[in-house]
């Protein structure tokens, strides 16, 4: 037997089909020719021709077997695909069976030679010559051929269809048993080769059918398909099996001429036997198998009826679990997820009603909140059950809580008839954290058996996984969103700093600002008042991060608008303090150093509002901190600020260097934990005082990086260096003005 024939077609249908069709045509053609030859042989027999040698009879019988092998292959090709449901399997054998019986009945009735029917034995009555079995009239030949073909087709279709049932959940052993059965059937049939149509089976021939029948019994016990049927499907299957059984019994009766005639039925396997003895044995054996299988199927179906609902529930649980597992990877909106989680125990039949409680994110107490319900009114749950206390108990133990007689529990105030007979609460645990609790109820007490509880437990585990996944994703999205927002904030803040430094005859300027985080509270800026005066500012908003960044932007607005109206340091700072005081939080203040460099007057005037003092280095190497008195902006909102504030005016000498910075520079820590400090700052500046501003800036930054031991700063750091050359540096034909002010992340 070609095993490929029985392999179900999966992929590549379109590729296989053309070859498949071509093969069918070929087999069909061969079968047609063979059947024609067989019929021709019968016609010749009828006209008195006798095969002269036994070889002629052998050739005839071999031709019959060949023809029916081809027909079997043809049918096997046709029924290669398994029907989608078990019930569909029964249809065709029933249909063909009915057809066979009908053909049989009709043809034998018409073919009977009435004048002989009363006295002659069966074969003669059907038109076969007594003794030789030669067909006597054309009707006999016709009937013999049609009925044999119909009988064999019925047997083949029956076997091919039942194969699909027997081989549900196939194993190696079950497939082997099936083919052994077929093999023994063929073997038993083959033993009757060349047997006279009127002869009876001898002892050996009967004995040979025993193993075939034995394997029929084994195969009849392969009934796995029944388990998966619903109740109605089972009932339909019982009816169909019974009907098929009746047909098979009818066919079986027709086989035996004695029984048939006593029932008044047309007999006749006689036709089949005259056609081919082995074929008739094979058909009989097939019918026996059909009867056996239908009988065991009917019995099994009947016995399985009561357990159907349990199997259904188990199947439902599997399906619900499957869909819930899919959810884990697909659904990330909490509300939809919650709905599906409460739906699964109901859909699987494990519970009558369900609801899900999760800790409320908004409330500080984390009191559980019912977020989804199924088959129960969410508004009434609180009247029935104290969800909070049950939730607490589950949270404490981390284990499912089963109330077999829910109505007797003090936390359940539902009355009989409210549908809460037993209650099961299962924690949703993910990474040892309780994400919620799944509550399921049944309307009867003791409603949850061990397997129900296990199923609900599995749902809860899946649900926890799904919720956890969704939450992780949400957190990640939120994190990414924040990072994007911060990046935008950073870009905006960078734009608040001067994009190019001012140019003023006789002065070179270098400046930089580094934020420790995405955004910072440091600010520096310049504003050209007129062609020989430039105002400068370095400010540091207290605190860090976003709020500091907002106040930094505020400071920028104040500087850009106020410096043109009130450029003098003292007035500027007084106005700035008044404006900022109304804006700043009480705990926030801004330290500022502000000044004006006058290139024509060759002076620098400068005031300090709580900021780190500016460092002033002369060409002769003297270095000092310009610690003029003054409080931070926003600290005092009254007169103390003005009283404390004073400004200093310094006459510029060529080579003078002024360095403004924020506390990030002074407080930078080295590997040993020391602060950078004022002394080191002044020393580095003094050592490099002959450099032009840009190189001095570079030298100082290098020294800072050296000191810190890395380029990661943990505070915002701003550095502004101005050097007075006394003459227009541009006339020296060198770039005295570093073009870019930079702000970069730590």
Partner 1 sequence: MSNFSVGFRTSGSVQVLELNGELDAHTASELEAAIQKCLDAKTVCIVVNGKNLQYISSAGLGVFMAFIEELREEEGDIKIAELQPRVFNVFDLLGFPMLFDIVESEADAVARFQTTNGDGA
Residues that bind partner 1 (CB under 8 A): 540-545, 585-589, 591, 610-613, 627, 629-632, 635-636, 640, 644, 663, 667, 675, 715
Contact at 8 Å (CB) between 430 and 467? yes
How far apart are CB 496 and partner 1 at their closest, in Å? 20
Nearer residue to partner 1 within complex by CB, 265 or 615: 615
Nearer residue to partner 1 within complex by CB, 366 or 640: 640
Nearer residue to partner 1 within complex by CB, 361 or 586: 586
Distance CA 453, CA 656 (A): 85
**Extended beta strands in 700-741, E state:** 717-724
**Beta-carbon count within 10 A of 139 CB:** 16
Nearer residue to partner 1 within complex by CB, 327 or 548: 548
For the chain, helix (H) and strand (E) counts, in that order, are 23, 16
Nearer residue to partner 1 within complex by CB, 280 or 591: 591
Distance CA 27, CA 72 (A): 10
Distance CA 172, CA 389 (A): 56
The enclosing H or E element of 513 equals strand 507-515
Distance CA 259, CA 252 (A): 10
Helix 13-46, helix 138-166: angle, nearest 10: 150
Q: Of 373, 367, 297, 313, which is closest to residue 338 (Cα–Cα)?
A: 373
Structural tokens at position 33: 């020719």
Nearer residue to partner 1 within complex by CB, 224 or 675: 675
**DSSP structural state of residue 536:** E
CA dist list (Å): 348 to 225, 306, 319: 21, 18, 7
Distance CA 274, CA 268 (A): 10
How far apart are CB 542 and partner 1 at their closest, in Å? 3
Most distant CA atoms of the chain, gap in Å: 153
Q: Of 613, 609, 617, 532, which is closest to residue 569 (Cα–Cα)?
A: 609
Distance CA 140, CA 47 (A): 13
How far apart are CB 405 and partner 1 at their closest, in Å? 49
Structural tokens at position 126: 């059907």
Strands 647-651, 603-609: pairing is antiparallel
How far apart are CB 481 and partner 1 at their closest, in Å? 24
Distance CA 663, CA 539 (A): 10
Torsion region of 220: left, alpha or beta (phi above 0 gives left; psi -120 to 50 gives alpha): alpha
Nearer residue to partner 1 within complex by CB, 290 or 664: 664
The enclosing H or E element of 322 equals helix 308-330
How far apart are CB 660 and partner 1 at their closest, in Å? 14
Strands 742-745, 507-515: pairing is parallel
How far apart are CB 569 and partner 1 at their closest, in Å? 16
The alpha-helical segments, DSSP class H, found in 112-195 are 114-117, 122-125, 138-166, 172-190
How far apart are CB 512 and partner 1 at their closest, in Å? 20
How far apart are CB 575 and partner 1 at their closest, in Å? 18
Nearer residue to partner 1 within complex by CB, 188 or 612: 612
Distance CA 593, CA 496 (A): 18
Contact at 8 Å (CB) between 427 and 398? yes
CA dist list (Å): 68 to 8, 72, 161, 275: 23, 6, 17, 12
* 169-197 b/e (C-beta count within 10 Å ≥ 16 → b): eeeeebeebbebbbebbbebbebbeebeb
Nearer residue to partner 1 within complex by CB, 436 or 630: 630
How far apart are CB 631 and partner 1 at their closest, in Å? 3
Nearer residue to partner 1 within complex by CB, 349 or 630: 630
How far apart are CB 611 and partner 1 at their closest, in Å? 7
Which residue shows structure tokens 């292959």?
Answer: 73
Nearer residue to partner 1 within complex by CB, 408 or 587: 587
Structural tokens at position 14: 């379109």
How far apart are CB 696 and partner 1 at their closest, in Å? 24
Structural tokens at position 249: 């019994």
Contact at 8 Å (CB) between 586 and 627? no
Nearer residue to partner 1 within complex by CB, 386 or 663: 663
Torsion region of 93: left, alpha or beta (phi above 0 gives left; psi -120 to 50 gives alpha): alpha
How far apart are CB 500 and partner 1 at their closest, in Å? 29
Nearer residue to partner 1 within complex by CB, 97 or 610: 610
Nearer residue to partner 1 within complex by CB, 501 or 614: 614
Nearer residue to partner 1 within complex by CB, 256 or 636: 636
How far apart are CB 545 and partner 1 at their closest, in Å? 8
Contact at 8 Å (CB) between 590 and 633? yes
Nearer residue to partner 1 within complex by CB, 526 or 707: 707
Sign of the CA dihedral with 414 first, then 419, 422, and 425 last: negative
Structural tokens at position 76: 């096997």
Q: Is 568 helix (H, G, I), strand (E, B) or coil?
A: coil
Nearer residue to partner 1 within complex by CB, 213 or 625: 625
How far apart are CB 643 and partner 1 at their closest, in Å? 8
């Amino acid at each position: 037997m070609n095993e490929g024939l029985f392999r179900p077609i999966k992929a590549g249908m379109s590729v296989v089909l053309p070859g498949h069709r071509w093969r069918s045509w070929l087999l069909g053609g061969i079968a047609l020719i063979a059947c024609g030859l067989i019929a021709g042989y019968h016609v010749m027999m009828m006209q008195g021709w006798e095969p002269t040698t036994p070889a002629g009879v052998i050739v005839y019988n071999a031709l019959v077997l060949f023809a029916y092998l081809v027909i079997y292959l043809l049918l096997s090709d046709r029924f290669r695909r398994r029907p989608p449901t078990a019930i569909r399997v029964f249809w065709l054998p029933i249909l063909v069976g009915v057809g066979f019986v009908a053909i049989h009945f009709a043809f034998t009735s018409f073919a009977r030679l009435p004048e002989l029917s009363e006295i002659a034995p069966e074969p003669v009555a059907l038109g076969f010559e007594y003794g030789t079995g030669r067909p006597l009239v054309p009707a006999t030949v016709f009937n013999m051929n049609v009925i044999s073909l119909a009988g064999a087709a019925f047997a083949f279709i029956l076997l091919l269809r039942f194969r699909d049932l027997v081989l549900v959940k196939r194993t190696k052993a079950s497939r082997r048993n099936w083919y052994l059965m077929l093999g023994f059937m063929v073997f038993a049939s083959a033993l009757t080769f060349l047997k006279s149509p009127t002869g009876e089976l001898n002892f050996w021939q009967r004995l040979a059918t025993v193993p075939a029948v034995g394997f029929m019994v084994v195969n009849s016990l392969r009934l796995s398909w029944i388990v998966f049927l619903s109740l109605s499907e089972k009932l339909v299957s019982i009816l169909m099996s019974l009907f098929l059984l009746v047909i098979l019994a009818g066919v079986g009766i027709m086989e035996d001429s004695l029984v048939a005639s006593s029932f008044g039925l047309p007999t006749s396997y006689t036709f089949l036997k005259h056609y081919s003895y082995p074929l008739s044995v094979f058909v009989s054996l097939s019918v026996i198998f059909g009867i056996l299988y239908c009988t065991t199927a009917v019995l099994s179906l009947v016995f399985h009826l009561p357990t159907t609902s349990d199997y259904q529930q188990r199947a439902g649980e599997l399906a619900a679990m499957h869909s819930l597992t899919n959810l884990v990877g697909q659904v990330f909106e909490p509300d939809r997820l919650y709905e599906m989680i409460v739906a699964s125990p109901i859909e699987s039949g494990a519970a009558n009603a369900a609801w899900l409680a999760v800790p409320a994110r908004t409330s500080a107490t984390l009191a559980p909140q019912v977020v989804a319900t199924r088959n129960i009114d969410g508004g009434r749950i609180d009247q029935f059950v104290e969800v909070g206390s049950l939730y607490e108990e589950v949270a404490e133990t981390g284990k499912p809580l089963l109330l077999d007689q829910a109505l007797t529990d003090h936390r359940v105030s539902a009355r009989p008839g409210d549908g809460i007979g037993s209650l099961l609460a299962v924690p949703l645990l993910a990474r040892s954290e309780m994400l919620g609790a799944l509550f399921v109820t049944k309307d009867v007490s003791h409603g949850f058996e061990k397997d129900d509880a296990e199923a609900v437990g599995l749902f809860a585990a899946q649900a926890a996984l799904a919720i956890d996944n969704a939450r992780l994703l949400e957190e990640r999205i939120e994190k990414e969103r924040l990072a994007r927002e911060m990046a935008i904030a950073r870009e905006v803040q960078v734009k608040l700093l001067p994009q190019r430094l001012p140019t003023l005859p006789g002065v070179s300027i270098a400046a930089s600002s580094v934020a420790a985080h995405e955004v910072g509270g440091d600010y520096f800026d310049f504003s050209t008042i007129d062609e020989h005066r430039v105002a400068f500012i370095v400010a540091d908003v207290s605190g860090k991060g976003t709020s500091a960044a907002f106040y930094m932007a505020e400071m920028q607005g104040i500087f850009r608008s106020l410096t043109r109206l009130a450029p003098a340091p003292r007035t500027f700072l007084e106005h700035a303090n008044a404006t900022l005081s109304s804006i700043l939080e009480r705990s926030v203040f801004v330290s500022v150093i502000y000044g004006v460099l006058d290139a024509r007057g060759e002076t620098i005037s400068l005031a300090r509002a709580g900021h780190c003092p500016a460092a002033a280095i002369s060409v002769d190497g003297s270095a000092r901190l310009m610690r003029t008195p003054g409080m931070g902006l926003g600290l005092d909102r009254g007169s103390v600020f003005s009283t404390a504030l004073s400004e200093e005016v310094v006459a510029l000498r060529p080579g003078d260097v002024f360095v403004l910075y924020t506390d990030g520079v002074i407080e930078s820590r080295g590997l040993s934990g020391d602060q950078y400090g004022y002394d080191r700052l002044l020393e580095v500046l003094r050592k490099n005082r002959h450099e032009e501003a840009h190189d001095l800036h570079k030298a100082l930054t290098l020294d800072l990086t050296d000191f810190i031991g890395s380029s990661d700063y943990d505070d915002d750091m701003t550095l502004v260096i101005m050097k007075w050359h006394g003459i227009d540096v541009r006339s020296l034909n060198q770039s005295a003005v570093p073009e870019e002010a930079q702000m970069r992340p730590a």
